[in-house]
Every structure is written in structure tokens, then in C-alpha cells.
Amino acid sequence: MAATVDVNLDDYKYGFSVPENYAFKAEKGLSERIVKQISEMKNEPGWMTDFRLRGYKHFLERPMPQWGGQGMLNTINFDDIYYYIKPVGADKAFESWDDVPEDIKNTFDRLGIPEAEQKFLAGVGAQYESEVIYHSIIKDLESKGVIFLDMDASLREHPEIVKEYFGTVIPPEDNKFAALNTSVWSGGSFIYVPPGVHIDLPLQAYFRINAQNMGQFERTLIIVDEGAYVHYVEGCTAPTYSTDSLHSAVVEIIVKENGRCRYSTIQNWSHNVYNLVTKRAQAYKNATMEWVDGNLGSKLTMKYPAVWLMEDGAHGEVLSIAFAGKGQVQDAGGKIVHAAPNTSSVITSKSISKGGGRTTYRGLIKVAPNATNSKSNVLCDALILDDQSASDTFPYIEIENNNVSIGHEASVSKVSEEQLFYLMSRGIEEDTASNMIVSGFIEPIVKELPMEYALEMNRLIEMEMEGSVG
């Protein structure tokens, strides 16, 4: 059945849901039995089952972080969440949209994914609940040895590479939510780009939650070999429900000598989703890693994309945009670890809060004793649109040698009356004028995105601006 039911749409365009139609839905709550059940259903090798259990053990032991959005974190009821839901027909990811079950295909049609794929993408993965339902890459790249698969398929088809890298960048014990992800992960992408291969068009993954009280725990691993390049883009949405959902992903990236990886996120979760994601990359000799992180929507986001600069000359960059409206907390930023000499990094964060929303920049720059002649620059700007909204900055800096250059600049501003008046004195209405000021504010980051995503980003910000007025 393909009829769609709109649930409490308000201003969030992606808040629709379709009737549940699942091959398997684990009972609510988390237990060792469920962890084993997931692994069994996926026919995983023993080492992966053990790995999951290791994650589960640590998840139980690890206390909840008592910082960031701890007030909201403490209200998550882990027993009230479905940890694994397999849609009907999701035994493997299809390579043609025609094979995808109709109700799911309709959902992705409404989200514009197949259309975008035809227009400007080199490959697409689409995840629905716990499973990747569609995955495809242009043939030309396949013949060059590029691997772009869903994570479960890559474990079946390339077990040796997965085993070599899985959990090496972010071990199960890294933090409570990485541990949770390790225990119940499902779906996500695996990318391998062979030496020297330059993928011109972006690869995109789209994550969709449909069920109520759903927990989505995708796992992504990207390996960019020497001198190779890839731009990976992820988008995500969910229906608006009155109960909460949980999204807790782990993304591990390895960029080898002279390689470059750009990972762009346009997160647009409905306002009932906890978004607690661990993202970390390792950049080797003269390699470049760039995170472009657009955080819109969600109830609480805690996300600090990290780059470990492992070898001489590596460069890391985090560009982060956050928008917090009514009832939302965006606790975002970036982490850079300079672990080798002559490494450089830049963190640029722009946050906007409105209608009582709260944004926090939380960042860490760490320079190891051997990382001489390293450079880092942090710039964080907050724009506060009204008196109910707020913004904080927590820039942590740990430097263990003297021969480094670290710059840090922070600003907090309100939309200035003078700017607003200037635009209005040119006939521009107040709402349009404040939208223009906001889009001007994030322009330095948005201009880094491919045009299609830049337009999307501006459109989403505009929608949030309208949505949080009422």
C-alpha cells in the first residue's frame, strides 16, 4: 500500500510518514539478546558479533555525558526505542529504483533523491529505517575499482578490508553513543577510492527514519587511497512525531598520502530526533580532510566532526553551520588533533539561534609535543535573532609544544537594526531582509557547497526562519 499519511506536518516539509510495513521489527529496548539477534539475522562473522558485544558492554558501563545537552540527554528512555527495523524487501540493497518496494520508493521520490541522482551525482545510497534499500554507482567508477556499497554488503563482499579498518578510527570505547552504535549498527556506506582516482561528482547517501520511536544507527567507513579524491554528501529527514527518535551514527574516514576527502552533511531531522553522532577522520601525509556540517532540525544535536592529522603536512578543516529554533539545542563544533609536524587546520563555525533556540560551539584544538610548526585557526560566529535565544562558546585548546601558531576569534552578534533598516529602506520587506542577513552570515560556508546543495541549504534556513516565527 502506497497511500501516505501526514502526521503533524507544521512547517517541516519532510514530516510525512507512510504506514509501517516491516519484515522484522525487534522488540523495544536493548539487550544482549537483541544485539546477538541483529548479528545473526545479518549472518555476520564471529568477530563482528564479538565487536558488537564489546560495544554493548561499554554502552552499559559508560555514564551519560554530563555536558552539552545533558538536560535533554538524561530524558532519553533507552527502553522505549526500536533498535532494529527491517523493511519488507530489504534483504539487499537494490541497484534499480524499479525494484525498491513502492511505498519506500515513493518516500524517496518525495525527497527528490532519484531526481538528484540523475542530475548531479556519481552514486547514491538510500537507507530506510535500519537497512539500505538502494545503492548504486555509475559504472565508469566501478570499472576504476571504486567500491561504493552499503556497510552490510561490504562486510559480506569485502570482509578483509572491513576487518582491517572497522573500529580503528573510532573504537567501541570512544564514547557512550559510539559504543551504542557499535552494538546495534546497521546500514551506512562503505567507500573505497583506489590510488589516484578522482571522483568528480559527489556520492550521496540519504537516511530516512519512518517509524515512531525508531533508533537509526548507521555506520560509515570511507577509505581514500593515495592521491585519490571523493566528495561524500549525506542528507537525513524523519517524520514529525510527538515521541522521540534517536539517530546515533559513527563515521570513520581514512585519507592516505596526498588524498583528499570532503564529507558534507545537510542534516534536517524533524524536531523530535536526538542526533548524537561521532565522526572522525585520520589524514596521512599531505592529505586533506574537510567536514562541511550543516545542522538543522533535530531536538538535540551533539556532533563534533574530528580530524586527526597523523603525518607531516596533513590538513584538516571543519566548516559548521547550526540553526536552533524553538525548543532545539545544537551543540556542535569540531575537533582537530595535530599529531605530526607541519600540519594545519581551520575550524569555521557559524550558528544561528531564534525563537528560544540554543546553539553552542564546542571545539578542541590539540597539538602534540612533536607537532612542531603547526598552524590552526578557529573562527566562530554566533548570530542571535531575538532575546529568548542564546549562544555559548567553549573553545578548548591543548598545546604541548611552543612552535605553533594558533588563532582564535569568536563573535556573537544580533541582527543589527542598521542592517535591517538599510535593506528595508530599499523596499525589501522585513522578513526577506532578515533572511538575507542570515544567508549572508552563513555565506562563507554555503559557498563551499556544490550549487545544488547551496541552494538547498539556503532554502532550508529560510524554512526554519519561517517555521520558528510562530
User: Interface residues with other proteins (CB under 8 A)?
Assistant: 416-419, 421-430, 432-433, 436-437, 439-444
Which residue number, 81 or 383, has a Cβ lying nearer to other proteins?
Answer: 383
Q: How far is the CB of 378 from other proteins (least distance, A)?
A: 19
Shortest spacing between CB 407 and other proteins, in angstroms: 19
**CB closer to other proteins, 400 vs 429:** 429
Please identify, using beta-carbon distances, which residue of 71 and 427 lies nearer to other proteins.
427
By C-beta, is 199 or 438 nearer to other proteins? 438
Q: Least distance from C-beta 455 to other proteins, angstroms? A: 13
Taking the complex as a whole, how short is the minimal distance between the CB of residue 429 and other proteins, in angstroms? 5
Closest separation between CB of residue 414 and other proteins, Å? 14
Greatest Cα-to-Cα distance within the chain, rounded to the nearest angstrom? 69
Cα(first)–Cα(last) distance of the chain, in Å? 35
Element (H, E) at 163: helix 159-165
Cα distance between residue 223 and residue 314, in whole Å? 16
| DSSP secondary structure of 274-341 | EEEEEEEEEE-TT-EEEEEEEEEE-SEEEE--EEEE-STT-EEEEEEEEEE-TT-EEEEEEEEEE-ST
Q: For residues 142 and 430, which CB has a smaller minimum distance to other proteins in the complex?
A: 430
Nearest distance from residue 358's CB to other proteins, in Å? 23
Q: How far is the CB of 172 from other proteins (least distance, A)?
A: 42
The nearer residue to other proteins, 145 or 440, going by C-beta atoms, is 440
Say if residues 381 and 410 touch (Cβ distance below 8 Å). yes
**What's the rounded Cα separation, in Å, for the pair 170 and 279?**
8
To the nearest whole angstrom, how small is the minimum distance from the Cβ of residue 462 to other proteins? Answer: 13
Q: What span, in angstroms and rounded, lies between the C-alpha atoms of 158 and 152? A: 10
* 206-to-113, 160, 228, 253 alpha-carbon distances in Å: 8, 26, 23, 18
Number of neighbours of residue 45 by Cβ within 10 angstroms: 14
Q: Which is nearer to other proteins, 403 or 411 (CB)?
A: 411
- Residue closer to other proteins by CB (options 243, 413) is 413
Distance of alpha carbon 48 from alpha carbon 166, whole angstroms: 10
The 10 Å Cβ neighbour count of residue 140 is 10
Distance CA 403, CA 395 (A): 20
Nearer to other proteins, 37 or 439 (CB): 439
The single-letter code of the amino acid at 7 is V
CA distance 225 to 261: 10
What's the min distance (Å) between Cβ of 278 and other proteins?
31
How far is 27 from 31, CA to CA, in rounded Å? Answer: 10
